[in-house]
Amino acid sequence: MIQSVDRAARVLFALQGERRLGIADLAARLELAPSTVHGIVKTLAAHNLVVQDAGSGRYQLGPAVLRLGNVYLDSLELRSRAMAWSEELARRTGMAVRTGVLAGDDVVIIHHEPRPDGSRQMPEIGIVIPAHASALGKAQLAFLPADAARVLGAAHRSMTGDTITDADELREQLAVVARTALAEERDEAVLGESSVAAPIFAANGAAIGAIGVVLPTTDWPVDESVRVALRESARNVSRELGAARWPA
C-alpha cells in the first residue's frame, strides 16, 4: 500500500462522513500531524477534489469528486441494466426503487427510481447506508461470506432504536436471506421507512448488487405480489448480466 495515497483516501472519506472539517479536526481524526494533513489537503485542493469554505475556513469535498462519481455511474453495467427494470418495478408496485452496491461496510445507492405517483421526491443517488441496517446490504452479504464476516465482526452503528446490531441476530437474518433471496429491514436505517431487497448476480455467480423497494413502515408488510415482482426484477437484471441462475 502506498502511504501517501492511503492518507489522501482517508482524508476524502473523512470529509464524506462529516461534510466539513478543519485541518486540526482532520489531523485528530486520522491521527496524523497537522502539517502532514495540510500538505495532503492542499494537494487535493489543487485538483478540485476538496475546496475550502470561505466562511468557516474548513474543507469539504470538491466538484471533481462529483465528476468522478458521474463517470463511475455511467460506466456501471449493473446500473444501466437495472434502470429499465427499476422503472417497471416501480410501476408494478407503486413504490420507490433503489439499486445499491457494497462499498466496504456500507451500501451506496447507484440508481433511484421515484414513486410513480407524481409527488416531489429527493434524488437518492449517492446516499450511503450501513450494510447491516439496509435490506440492500443484507441481500448481498448473505451471498458474500467474506464481506459478511467482516461486517459481522465490526462494531455496528445504531441508526435508530430498531437497528439490529447483535452479530448473532444479524447472522440468523442472513441465513434466512440465503434461503429466500429476499432481505428485509423495518425502521433500521430511517424511522418510518422500511424496505425489501433481492440480490443481483453477475456472470461469475457473485452477488454484485441488490435491488429493493422502499415503503412507509405504516404500509408494512408488503403484499406477496410485491415480493414476486421484486424477485422477477432481480432475476431479469442478473440474467442480462450473464448470470446462469438466480439466486446463484
Statement: the pTM of the whole predicted model exceeds 0.75: yes
pLDDT tens for the chain, residues 1 to 248: 799 899 999 998 888 877 789 999 999 999 999 999 999 999 999 999 999 988 899 999 988 888 887 777 766 899 999 999 999 999 999 999 999 999 989 999 999 999 998 888 888 888 889 999 999 999 999 999 999 999 999 878 899 999 999 999 999 999 999 999 999 999 999 999 999 999 999 999 999 999 999 999 999 999 999 999 999 999 999 999 999 999 96
For residues 73 and 62, the answer to whether their CB atoms sit within 8 Å is no
Q: Which domains does the chain have, with CATH numbers?
A: 3-67 (1.10.10.10), 76-240 (3.30.450.40)
Contacts 24+ apart (CB under 8 A), 201-205: 201/143, 201/238, 201/241, 201/243, 201/246, 201/247, 201/248, 202/238, 202/241, 202/242, 202/243, 203/241, 203/242, 203/243, 203/244, 205/243, 205/244, 205/248
Residues with Cβ within 8 Å of 182's Cβ and at least 6 positions away in sequence, in order, are 139, 196, 197, 198, 227, 230, 231
Quote the CA–CA distance of 234 and 24 in Å, as a whole number.
46
Q: Which residues pair with 199 in a beta bridge?
A: 210
Helix (H/G/I), strand (E/B), else coil: 59 = strand
Specify the pLDDT at position 74: 67
Helix (H/G/I), strand (E/B), else coil: 40 = helix
User: Per-residue DSSP letters for 210-224?
Assistant: EEEEEEEGGGPSPPH
Specify the pLDDT at position 35: 93
